[in-house]
Amino acid sequence: MSSVHLNNIVKRFGAVTAVHSTSLEIPEGAFVTLLGPSGCGKTTNLRMIAGLLDPTEGEILIGGKRVNDVPIHKRNLGLVFQNYALFPHKTVADNVAFGLKYRDVPSDDIATKVQDALELVQLPDVGDRYPKELSGGQQQRIALARAIVIEPDVLLLDEPLSALDANLREDMRVELKRIQERIGVTTVFVTHDQSEALAMSDQIVVMSDGRVEQVGAPEEVYNTPASEFVANFLGASNILAARCTRRGPEGVDIEAPTFGKLTVPAEKAPNLGSEGPAKLVIRAEKLLVSRDEAPEGVLSVPATIEAVDYQGQAVRYFVRADDTQLQAINMIDQHPFATGDAINLHLRPIDCAALPGD
Amino acid sequence: MGGTMGWHLLRGWTVLVYLFMFLPVAVVVLLSFNASQFGAFPMTGFSFRWFVELAQNEAILRAFRTSVTLGVMTAAISTTLGVLASLAMVRYRVPGSNYISTLLIAPILVPEVVLAVALLLFLNFLGINKSFTLLLFGHVIFTLPFVILVVQARLISIKRDIEEAAMSLGASPRQTFFQITLPLMLPAVLAGALFALTISFDDITGTLFWKPGGVETVPTQIFAMLRNSISPEINALGTVMIVLTVGLPLLGLAIARTLSQKRGI
Ligand SMILES: Nc1ncnc2c1ncn2[C@@H]1O[C@H](COP(=O)(O)OP(=O)(O)OP(=O)(O)O)[C@@H](O)[C@H]1O
Ligand SMILES: [Mg+2]
């Protein structure tokens, strides 16, 4: 177990800059997720930590030691790939034992450790099989067993679940998190799936275009996005151009179209100055579609439903209030409203966040 | 109606073409078991006497030994070079690898006579005499493209991820090669080696140009014997050649297939 530090890392491929000056601190034992859209540099960062790519500039420290010049096979890392990357010509047991052969492990202990690892991933009986005789999910468990049996300082996972089908992916998510907590290894997990990131991480690093947009705990990143990009990437948000009129100790007064004057809690607008242009961020789940009057302290705005996207337990409404188009995602247990219905939109100001405007 | 007629014609024609190609081979094989002194039909009885005589003919045995030595050395050198060249081009993407690749494959595209004469002239120009080494050199140049084509195709299909996983687990690049990459491409390496061996064993055009005086390989020995007389021994030798050049690749294929099945590749 070790911490990982990236100090002002830059990676260029010829004229392309894949990673712009990035600094990150990954504490010992933490589960940190690099989250971002395709091509934002997640894999590049992970491969630099692994030692499969050399950073163009900057330093990488693992356990406080600079590792820029340490080749991958001396870094003691566990690496898990999207495509499992098991050795097809070796049995499952030999796959898992592979890393132990390069460490000072007595041969008697190897068999025990392999069996323990297989038990940890809940596949104790497949040691004699070849990888192609296992399902995708089982292969990924073996890949995980192979990576953790060497007791790595850091576990690096590049979209390990994205080759699995949806149900299996959710099981494996829980499983992976359970194993990580059990062995307590520092873990860097790469994904472009926000629900994966929110469910598993201690910390999420949201990336865009080779830059870090925000670092924080899942609920922090989700509730207090630091930029418009983060607000849009994690869940659906409505972002309205607004004005900040006053910053008080308790809250920030915002004047927004449609909703008028409201006060956003100060901690949900950390980057906003005292006065000037601002953006009001309203998460789609926080906007309630209703026929009723709003209770005390809740804003209510009349609106019309323009489209309905029924999703089972939840429904996504596209609504129009004045000239503003908004989306609302509500849990329902009965019939959804229909297109053309006149309804009220309820919003609690404390659920809003605010960003500096352009 | 006319359509069926056309098909019958086409079928008949195909049969004729195959007969034309394989009948001579069949005749040679059949006649090699002929008891009579004269290689002609009708056969006068079944006998292994020409094979026995073959085994007692000093010149032929010498040619056979030369061919085997040459073939095995060619296969060893071509395969080693071919594997290294493929690794350099596929894995390490050395600068200009496209040009190098074309250059290494080129000997297949150039007519053999041209290649043979060119190499000979070049060595004359350098003042180097014909020798067994030159002959070997020629065979290596000529068989290398086949090895490279087979090995490269295989190497491309081995995912880089697998090697990276091995290195992350503590294997050095060298250990990764011997533990992971080589075993995975072994079927292709074997196939390449067998290709090289058979092609070298079979080659006559280049060999005629490159061989030093007094050295004969099996094909050039047959060629020389044919100039004097048409002995039934040649039929027997031809049969041996056919068995070797057809049988070896088939054997190789079978080995490669069982290997890759067993290894679950
Ligand atoms: N070897 C390379 N040569 C040139 N450009 C590269 C190379 N590897 C990555 N890039 C570029 O760097 C950028 C970041 O790539 P990277 O693979 O890190 O993205 P990613 O966030 O992992 O995306 P994905 O979710 O699709 O895997 C991309 O624009 C990509 O085109
Ligand atoms: Mg990636």
Per-residue confidence (pLDDT) for residue B256, from 0 to 100? 73
Chain B contact set for A132 (CB, 8 A): 264
Rounded distance from Cα A192 to ligand 2 centre (Å): 9
Buried b (16+ CB within 10 A) or exposed e, A197-215: bbebbebbbbbbebbbbbb
A40 Cα nearest atom in ligand 1: 21
pLDDT tens readout for residues A167-185? 888 888 998 999 999 999 9
Question: Residues B213-242: what's their mean pLDDT?
Answer: 82
Band of the pLDDT at A41, cuts 50, 70, 90? very high
Does residue B98 have a pLDDT over 90?
no
Instruction: Tell me the two tokens of residue A30.
Output: 């933490």
Q: What domains are there in chain B, each with its CATH number?
A: 51-263 (1.10.3720.10)
A71 SS3 class:
coil
Residues for chain A: how many in total?
Answer: 358
Flag whether pLDDT at B3 surpasses 80.
Answer: no
Confidence of residue A131 (pLDDT cuts 50, 70, 90): very high
Q: Which residues on chain A place their C-beta less than 8 Å from a C-beta of chain B?
A: 50, 52, 71-79, 81, 83, 85-89, 98-99, 101-103, 130-133, 143, 146-147, 150
> According to the 3-state scheme, what is the secondary structure of B211-224?
CCCCCCCHHHHHHH
Q: Which amino acid is at B52?
A: V
| pTM assigned to the model | 0.82
Share of chain A above pLDDT 90, in %: 73
Give me the percent of chain A exceeding a pLDDT of 70.
Answer: 100
Return the CATH number of A236-356, one of 3.90.1300.10, 2.40.50.140, 2.40.100.10, 3.30.565.10.
Answer: 2.40.50.140
The tokens of B45 are what? 């009885």
For an interface test with B, which of A43, A77, A86, A89 has the most B Cβ atoms less than 10 Å from its Cβ?
A89
Q: Which atom of ligand 1 is nearest to the CA of A45?
A: 18
B165 vs A146: CB contact, 8 Å cut-off? yes
Using a CB-CB cut-off of 8 Å, the residues of chain B touching A75 are 168
Tokens of B7: 């098909």
B14, pLDDT greater than 60? yes
- Residue A34 CA: nearest ligand 1 atom is 21
Helices (H) and strands (E) in chain B, counts: 12, 0
Specify the pLDDT at position B93.
74
- Report the pLDDT averaged over residues A273-293: 89
Phi, psi of A354 (to 5 degrees): -135, 145
DSSP-based three-state secondary structure for A129: coil
Strand locations in B109-247, DSSP E? none
Task: Give the pLDDT band (50/70/90) at residue A30.
Answer: very high
Q: List CB contacts (< 8 A) between A101 and chain B.
A: 170
Q: What is the CATH number of domain A4-223?
A: 3.40.50.300
Looking at residue A139, what is its pLDDT? 94
Contact A236, A45 (CB under 8 A): no
* Enclosing H/E stretch for A196: helix A194-200
Percentage of chain B surpassing pLDDT 70? 95
Concatenate the DSSP letters of all residues of B65-87 into one string: HHHHHHHHHHHHHHHHHHHHHHH
- Computed over every residue of chain A, the mean pLDDT equals 92
Do the Cβ atoms of B165 and A85 come within 8 Å?
Answer: yes
Q: Which of B159, B161, B166 sits opposite A98 (nearest CB)?
A: B166
Residue A265: how many other CB atoms lie within 10 Å: 16
Cβ count near A295 (within 10 Å): 9
Which residues of chain B neighbour A48 with C-beta distances below 8 Å?
Answer: none
Q: pLDDT band for position A188 (50/70/90)? A: very high
- ipTM of this predicted complex? 0.84
What is the pLDDT confidence band of residue B39, given thresholds at 50, 70 and 90? low
Examine the pLDDT at B1 and tell me if it is beyond 60.
no
Residue B2 pLDDT > 70 = no
The most confident of the ranges A122-126, B51-55, B132-136, B244-248 is A122-126
pLDDT of residue B35: 73
For A280, the 3-state DSSP assignment is strand
In chain A, where the domains are located: 4-223, 236-356
Ligand 1 pocket mutation, candidates A6, A10, A16, criterion most atoms within 8 A of CB: A16
